[in-house]
Structure 1
Amino acid sequence: MSAKKATAKTKKAAPKAAPVMGKRVEVKHISRVEGHGNIVVEIDAKNKVKACRWEVPEAPRFFEAMILGKSYTQIHQIVSRICGICSIGHQLCSIQATEDAMGIMVSDQTVRLRKLALHGENLQSHLLHVAYLALPDLMGVGSVIPLAQTHKKELLTLIGLHRMANEFSRATTGRTTHPQRLVPGGFTKVPTEAELRDMKKMLEDSIPGLEAASDLFASVVDKLPNFTRETEYVGLVSPAEYAMYWGEVGSTMDQARPAIYYKDITNEYMVPQSTAKWTKNKGESLMVGALARFNLNHKRLSPLAKGIARKLGLKAPCHNPYYNNLAQLVECAHSVEDSIRLIDEMLNSGIKSETEPKITPRAGKGVGAVEVPRGILFHAYEYDDRGRILNADCVIPTNQNHANIQKDFEALVPTLVDEDEATIELKTSMLVRAYDPCISCSTHFVDMTSAREERRLVKFVRVDD
């Protein structure tokens, strides 16, 4: 063997260079939200974002199809099951649409009681979210359980506030969820004067707890990421009040319009990564919810709420979506103080006994729009002359926010490319949780029937009741 060949035979192969890896974050069914949503982020070895998606695999539940052919007396009870968290809001929005379609007028007392019911639900939902779902992120823990050891006093205060909200809703509507007293035209039972006075005291007694909760959040507000993206904010607006139950549909980029134009504002469309529809108006996406309402209506907040906003450093306009959690806490203060005002007005006017109203159904179309905890909600119905549903459309707040979450991701993730995967997962998950999404409330159904088959189906359902 020649020396040259021997050298070649004994020479060791050079070791292969280790592959340069990128980063991948994939969260299946993000925790501490209602329903199923996924986060997908891919960053290559050169810190270029290759994928960035907010996915919604939740199956729709076809409520709009369920109510076809049903009587107007049943609709609000059925659609309240769209959401166990916002059942009062769905009932009120449904009743508004029915009353609009049939020309039903209600008393001032009924309006005040409905506003109280909406405030109760707002308190229930917001306090549940900020205390149990959002606060752990700010305290650096994975759930609320460890806070029972490290922040027992503060946690007990938040639990007490949430218990108050549940009791307030029960006293107003008869139940904490899926209430039975709300009906088209009024209430089947109204609170007594003694019950209203008890409610007022309960609300007044909660104010020190709200102040303590705002102190806690003010102490950790710097844990919220410093991220801003300007977008369109949409919600009810009114010159008379911080609009929750009545108003036109306002926007930071568009003129205010009556709720009848809701389709021109939401402009729903489908995307491959989501079973829920997305929406947009003037901008590429829009945001609804507590922060949107704050940006549109902050001048009409109660004094207590304005004080808590200042303590938290929340100023309008605010373009940081993480601050939606702060806006929720501010709204809790407003709901308490405005509820006290409404109760005083009812006590001063005198409580009038109301029986379930007698209604003569008629054919017509109507639209309801109310603010529920996660944003503006629309219900639109068409009735026949027997008061049975021919067509229904429900546009849910979380559906309106999905596109905005995606656009926030697209702006946020490029700022995180130097972070490790755990930090990227935390900050994107916190962003989703900031919206407090209720992903299961996807209600739209796909119409696969021809016009002839549709007429036959509706006729069949109408006689089945």
Structure 2
Amino acid sequence: MKIEIPSLARIEGHARLVVDASNGELKECRLEVFESPRFFEGLLKGRHYRDVAPIIARICGVCSNSHTLVSLAATERALGVEISEQTRNLRRLLAYGEILQSHLLQLYFMAVPDFLGVNSIFPLAKSRRELVLRALRLKKLANDICHLVGGRPVHPVTTCVGGFSALPAAQDLLELRRRLVTAVPDLEATVALFATFEFPVFERETEYVSLGADDGYPLLSQTLVSSDGVRAMAADYKGVIEEYLVPHSSAKFARMTRETYAVGPLARLKTGFDKLSPMARKVAAALGLAADTVNSYLNLLARLVEVVHCFEEAIHRIDDVLVAGLKQPAIAVPDGGGQGVAAIEAPRGTLFHAYRYDAGGCIESADCVIPTAQNLANIEADLRALVPTLLDLSREELTRRLEMLVRAYDPCISCSTHLLRVDIV
């Protein structure tokens, strides 16, 4: 049989899933990515360090803050720039805001329709009005975190090498803290909603990779760890991660000790479960999540646990900044060039940026390794393992299960269009 879904607007980017099975045997399963390469690494060549982060952030409209923050960190390491504790706290707050933006968007607007039997969230505006209003309230709060710290919700304008060109006002941070606290009932209702959903049973053990939990739950770290025992400096990522090409994809695939590995929420839970905030640990227990969870569908619940964690941590970061007192430090950028590598846990997983600057402070070379590119091979491996267990289902249910699995990874193939075609032969 052949199934085509010509338009599915709940992933970011262009992709096509092809499944070929006959007499109960899987012959072929591949996730085709046919986005045109955009050559951002080439666009950076010759650019001055002041221009690099604003340009590279345009890779993504969903994760622009992560790209900005890791770009700034790589530049600062290359040029020998030290940042203040205030800058670290504000950057963490900005990162938490983006994780909340992305996770809440995926949970409510992309995943919830799968469980409530609708094609999008829009029909729920009438049948489940309070659910939609709650989603919008939480999403707006996440946007406002990024707006306050970064100058606007997407593609920040206040971040710069060495710190921030403008700081949020203390009274605005205090008001943001109040809103985070008062949003707890909405968080509780979100947890209660997802606790009612029935997730498909599917387990496939794989290698999970994230930054280390040396200074708390994985976010910013200089170490890279895997569930297979790999431990390396993030700056040495090229020595442990192999990127490669496949004929059916314009995106690179990646592997480490095995042919595939996974990055993202479940990988971070394995590395930093004991570093979750107290409220997040309670939510994980209530949802049945543990550090040994290997069901890829449960990436959704892991995102929800991270939402709770980021809310709690955002409050602490605001407290740290306000207690210390806001002040604009002097920013000094030494002359000369150098090389720098940095990594961050973006919403979808570990993101690497590596730059080499010449003596005039201009880019000579750049390399970026994106989380979804690291996940693509693992998504295919999951699909190959899943399809043979579903061949006795109806055409509609089989298609739904496959779409749900792809969406559970929240792949960010591109930020411009939304299309997934599924062909089942």
Tell me whether the two structures share a fold, i.e. TM-score over 0.5: yes
How far apart are 1:255 and its partner, in Å? 2.8
Say whether 1:417 aligns with 2:417. Answer: no
| Alpha carbons 2:222, 2:235 under 8 Å: kept | no
Distance in 2 (alpha carbons) for counterparts of 1:279 and 1:246: 21
Alpha-carbon RMSD across the aligned residues, in angstroms, is 1.4
- CA pair 359-240 structure 1, distance change in 2 beyond 3 A: closer
Say whether 1:188 aligns with 2:162. Answer: no
- CA pair 152-227 structure 1, distance change in 2 beyond 3 A: same
One-letter amino acid of the counterpart of residue 261, structure 1: D
2:19 to 24, 41, 46: 41
Partner in structure 2 of residue 351 of structure 1: 326
Q: Secondary structure at the match of 1:25?
A: coil
The one-character-per-residue Cα deviations of 1:341-374 (angstroms, maximum 9, x if unpaired) are 111111221212235x242332211101001111
Q: Secondary structure at the match of 2:93?
A: helix
Partner in structure 1 of residue 153 of structure 2: 176
How far apart are 1:262 and its partner, in Å? 1.0
Rg larger in 1 or in 2? 1
One-letter amino acid of the counterpart of residue 181, structure 1: T
| Alpha carbons 1:24, 1:43 under 8 Å: kept | no
Return 5+ residue gaps in structure 1 as ranges.
Answer: 1-22, 443-465
TM-score, reference length from structure 2 = 0.95
Distance in 2 (alpha carbons) for counterparts of 1:237 and 1:319: 19
Distance in 2 (alpha carbons) for counterparts of 1:211 and 1:441: 30
| Alpha carbons 1:235, 1:288 under 8 Å: kept | yes
Say whether 1:54 aligns with 2:31. Answer: yes
* Percent of aligned positions that are identical: 44
Q: Secondary structure at the match of 1:370?
A: strand
| Alpha carbons 2:33, 2:250 under 8 Å: kept | yes
Distance in 2 (alpha carbons) for counterparts of 1:276 and 1:441: 14
How far apart are 1:419 and its partner, in Å? 1.4
The one-character-per-residue Cα deviations of 1:108-145 (angstroms, maximum 9, x if unpaired) are 00000000000000000100110000110011111111
Say whether 1:360 aligns with 2:334. Answer: yes
Q: Secondary structure at the match of 1:250?
A: strand
Distance in 1 (alpha carbons) for counterparts of 2:214 and 2:105: 30
Partner in structure 1 of residue 236 of structure 2: 261
Partner in structure 2 of residue 148 of structure 1: 125
Query: After TM superposition, what 4+ stretches of structure 1 lie above 2 angstroms from structure 2?
Result: 23-31
Distance in 1 (alpha carbons) for counterparts of 2:7 and 2:363: 35
Q: Secondary structure at the match of 2:219?
A: coil
Q: Which has the higher strand share?
A: 2
Return 5+ residue gaps in structure 2 as ranges.
Answer: 417-425
Higher relative contact order (CA 8 A, sep 6+): 2
The one-character-per-residue Cα deviations of 1:133-173 (angstroms, maximum 9, x if unpaired) are 01100111111112122221122112111111111111111
Distance in 2 (alpha carbons) for counterparts of 1:361 and 1:215: 54
Distance in 2 (alpha carbons) for counterparts of 1:235 and 1:418: 36
| Alpha carbons 1:117, 1:173 under 8 Å: kept | yes
| Alpha carbons 1:29, 1:38 under 8 Å: kept | no
| Alpha carbons 1:52, 1:410 under 8 Å: kept | yes
Matches within 5 A, 1:226-265: 226-265=201-240
Say whether 1:320 aligns with 2:295. Answer: yes
TM-score, reference length from structure 1 = 0.87
The one-character-per-residue Cα deviations of 1:13-34 (angstroms, maximum 9, x if unpaired) are xxxxxxxxxx333445643000
One-letter amino acid of the counterpart of residue 234, structure 1: V
